Structure 1
């Protein structure tokens, strides 16, 4: 039985500045079937309001509570642990941490910095870590599909470099962290064994979701490359062409339940 759906965004719902063919209708069909949805994204470049505006521009209005991102998890972690953030994130993303405490115990927060990354920023963050700051990874992805359609280096490489240099162990807040998936499901009141994740990343989206008890569908859009379904364990529940095909699979299995 399927009673809840988690959908990745980039590479599943949209690709660059365009919605993927059939994706908006697929979301509408899932909603018409009575299935609650959470849009779960590891994006660390666009703040939440920008993501919501982009989706609305595709003809896909999404309520704020339906969007779940690593920045939410990071803000919650900072409050729970009484830490102030040292941000190594994209300039556009810094607003996600407005109002966070300053001073006291520190936590280095790493996201996709983009073209603004330089040695000075890396070294300032490294020095915070050597002084005992926690290392928080908003995401640990190896790569992402860039605007030119080619894979580009993602934040996971920077996280690995900090772990090597500082001997700190990163706390991963986005996918594939089990806490990320489970927190998104908690907002729907959906147990893991009744949920399915749809993503284009066989490692973070699919294996990550399967590892904490969810079903997971791998789509052949976005960053998918031939053979991805065999590269990571656990493997996907199914491999489908796109979100439209994923919606067909989910609705059929929801009815079976």
Structure 2
């Protein structure tokens, strides 16, 4: 029986600062159905506090403890292992790590750093990696959607540093199994009792399916025509509102079905 729903945020709940049509009502309906909701994101341009504030401003009834961000997972990892990070991150994310010591860094943290992803900073990260520092990253997302277009995400730069240094990054956000398991543990459900809804066919949907979760790909956000062919076994819906109307329209959690085009 379905007990929990994991919702990606950007491209599923909102886009370019506006809630997607019917998304606020869909989340409210899921809450009314008695499902445990968790909001999961790899965003590396916003602190967890800012993610929560924006969702509340858009009308989503979300509590801070329901939000799981990849940067927060990286911060917990740094503290757990006593690491001092060299931060190759977006300026807007600086407050998330402000209370960590970063002198004599012995780990590299890489996110979507935008204009900070210049040669000098990437080379400084490369020097640390050659000396044995681990490469920690939010995820391997290839791109994200903003202002109606796709833009480079952290993934291509992760691959570049892996290739140059001959190492493998530690991924602490989606699609890492550990990230999903931490969210499931917090919701106190097994993978078979959870549904993941996302717009990223690789990091959201395929990753969730590999772990045993039910998954639904929505045709909003970064979705591109034909993505459903890369997510065998997953449902597909036009948007979150369509999914919720089909599966929970009668107010009963756990009703199964498949969206069109799957």
TM-score normalised per structure 1: 0.94
Residues 10-48 of structure 1, C-alpha deviations (whole Å, 9 max, x = no match): 100001110000000000000000001000001000111
1:176 aligns with 2:144: no
The reply to whether residue 240 of structure 1 matches residue 240 of structure 2 is: no
Q: Measure how far apart 1:105 and its partner are.
A: 6.5
RMSD over equivalenced CA pairs, Å: 1.6
Work out the CA distance in 1 between the residues paired with 2:113 and 2:233.
30
SS of the aligned residue for 2:203 comes to helix
- 3-state SS, counterpart of residue 254 of structure 1: coil
Instruction: Determine helix, strand or coil for the equivalent of 2:93.
Output: helix
Summarize deviations over 1:212-247 as a string: whole Å, max 9, x none: 110100001111111101135xx2521011011222
Deviation, structure 1 residue 131: 1.2
Instruction: Determine the structure 1 residue equivalent to 2:191.
Output: 192
Task: Please name the residue that 2:60 is paired with.
Answer: 60
Runs of 4+ deviating beyond 6 Å: none
CA distance in 1, matches of 2:169, 2:139: 10
| Superposition map of 1:215-234 within 5 A | 215-232=214-231
The residue correspondences of 1:34-113 to structure 2 (distance < 5 A) are: 34-103=34-103, 106-113=106-113
Q: Give the length in aligned residue pairs.
A: 254
Paired residue for 2:159? 160
Q: Give me the whole-angstrom Cα distance separating, in 2, the residues matched to 1:168 and 1:97.
A: 24
Q: Which ranges in structure 1 are unaligned for 5 or more consecutive residues? A: none
- Larger deviation: 157-166 or 68-77? 68-77
**Distance of 1:255 and 1:6 partners within structure 2:** 14
Cα displacement (A) at 1:117: 2.1
Per-residue deviation, 1:251: 2.7
Mapped contact 2:139–2:172 kept (Cα < 8 A): yes
2:21 aligned with 1:21, yes or no? yes
2:209 is aligned to 210
Q: TM-score, normalised by structure 2?
A: 0.92
State the secondary structure of the residue aligned to 2:115. helix
